[in-house]
Amino acid sequence: MDKLIKMVETMKPFFEKVSNNIYLRAIRDGFVSCIPVILFSSLFILVACVPEIFDYKWPEAVSSVLWQAYNYSMGMLGILMVATIAKSLTDSINTKMPKLRQINDVSVMIVSIICLLLLAVAPVDGGISTEFMGTKGLLSAFVVAFSVPNIYKFFVKRNITIKLPDEVPHYIAQTFADLIPLSVAVMVYWIFGIVFKEATGMMFGAWILEVFKPLFVAADGYIGVAIIYGAMAMFWFVGIHGPSIVEPAVTAIYIANIEANLQIVNAGGHATNILTHPTSYFVATLGGTGATLMFCAMCAFIAKSKQLRAVGRASIIPVTFAVNEPILFGAPIVLNPVLFVPFILAPILNVWIFKFFVDGLGMNAFTYILPWTTPAPIGLIIGTGFAKLAFVLAPLLLVVDAVLYYPFFRVYDAQLVEKEKAGAVEAADETAVAVPAAPVVTEADLPNDEKRVLVLCASGATSSMLAKAITKGAEHRHAPVESIAMAYGQHKDIITDFDLIVLAPQMASMYDELKSDCDAKGVKSATTSGREYVGLTRDPDKALDFALALMAH
């Protein structure tokens, strides 16, 4: 097992390189930006459809209004995603461009929308079809969002532009500077769309869906889901945020499947598409990547090791809401050979059992999207439309995960007990994870002017734990320090609003880029180890000292 772990760890630089890929990051950032829209639209669908499960049907007028909110939000997702992905990619490209020769991200967003319409939306009598403006247009949106910023880059980097006299105001000159790449991008997609339809008899948006259909089907099979969710766990095991690598590649499948399931159920059919965001949230990752909820519960309530008991009790609440970094780094699970097998296998077995319930027992797959922080058993029941079998599946998955983790938990617990008895491991107390020594800031050293700290992680959940700890420490000691959390990528335009930006450990592969951005704008930056980060989240005073020491350095 140690040899296997070392082999996996040697591949970490490659995994980190993949994680840093600007195109995968652009998909992830674009999706994160659209999550509020997806959740908003899902609320209306829940209100519109769930009553029918209990034999109540809304009047036609009410139902029409509810579906209207869905159609004009989720139904426009392709349009929204092409703009947000293109902006994220443009921001990444701009970091390598000269400071006085930056690509206009607003112009790129506008042109990307136009190009998507030219590529994937067909004209109909009196208007245009909306079929490929939503989830069916996501693959086309990726093509457009990846190419348009590069067209702009070609012209902006070479300063190929319409030059105006110096007396012309900058904002007017910028309009003309954007005119050449804008015109070229629109012309390219206009001509390509016409030629492609003449040659194939299909709009590009419909054609690309047909091309990728076999991949969608294969990904939904037993082997496909095993590879996808096993890979997420494998990346996390070596300390890299797995979903940030894997999910961008399957986001289009996730979103297309959830809408397809909804349409099938509304038509009275059996929804069988497995790969969806809720499957990841509420089946594969019960308690976070690795399905760690039951392992955390065992640590909290039956562990004999003081270390595991302390970590489990400190982590059980966030893990219940799928924030499992405290247990991943606190136990630790990351790079722990004893826990490798259940950490990889639990997500795979969970999804296989779910697939058997859907394919073999006739249960409907997920039709609704809920926030990923919804406790998994609740999300599983609601997301499947209160399917009767979901009330059986939810506790069954918990039992399966407990049985799978238990023997490995016992071995690891016994190892720690022996080490604690021998004094090789300092026993953690009953309420907190030990925090490494950090400079203590005296009351006299507290800043007089206001300081702002930003903490970043993949989704803004783990980072909120440290941000809240810093804020609590500041309130307790009456220090003028404010701290907030965000998902990585959301900080790009507001770096200078902060005095310090801290990167959570699972995003450490992004630190070189963050440091470069922060150094260019005179802002302090830092990252931490997993163990240190978990400890800081449990000790507000130490968290405040940690932030102040970095800002004073």
Name the DSSP class of 442.
Answer: P
State which H helix or E strand residue 15 sits in: helix 12-19
CA distance 404 to 372: 24
Q: Find residue 485's DSSP bridge partners.
A: 455
Q: How far apart are the first and last CA of the chain?
A: 42
**Catalytic residue, candidates 49, 296, 457, 518:** 457
Kindly provide the b/e burial profile for residues 107-145, where b requires at least 16 CB atoms within 10 angstroms of the residue's own CB: bbbbbbbbbbbbbbbeeeeeeeebbbbbbbbbbbbbbbb
Can you tell me which residue has the tokens 């190419």? Answer: 147
CA distance 207 to 193: 12
CA distance 459 to 492: 15
Taking phi over 0 as left and psi of -120 to 50 as alpha, with beta for the rest, 429 belongs to beta
524-527/481-487 β-pairing: unpaired
CA distance 263 to 260: 5
Contact 258, 278 (CB under 8 A): yes
State which H helix or E strand residue 67 sits in: helix 60-71
Identify each DSSP E strand in 395-478 by its residue range. 451-457
Contact 42, 227 (CB under 8 A): no
Report residue 105 CA to chain centroid gap. 22
User: 332: cis peptide before it, omega within 30°?
Assistant: yes
Dihedral angle at the C-alpha atoms of 126, 132, 133, 138, nearest 10 degrees? -170
Taking phi over 0 as left and psi of -120 to 50 as alpha, with beta for the rest, 239 belongs to left
Task: Tell me, yes or no, if 49 is annotated catalytic.
Answer: no
The SS3 of residue 490 is: coil
* Helix residue ranges, H only, 99-241: 105-120, 138-157, 170-177, 179-200, 204-219, 222-237
Tokens describing residue 308 = 């595991």
- Which residues are catalytic, by number? 457
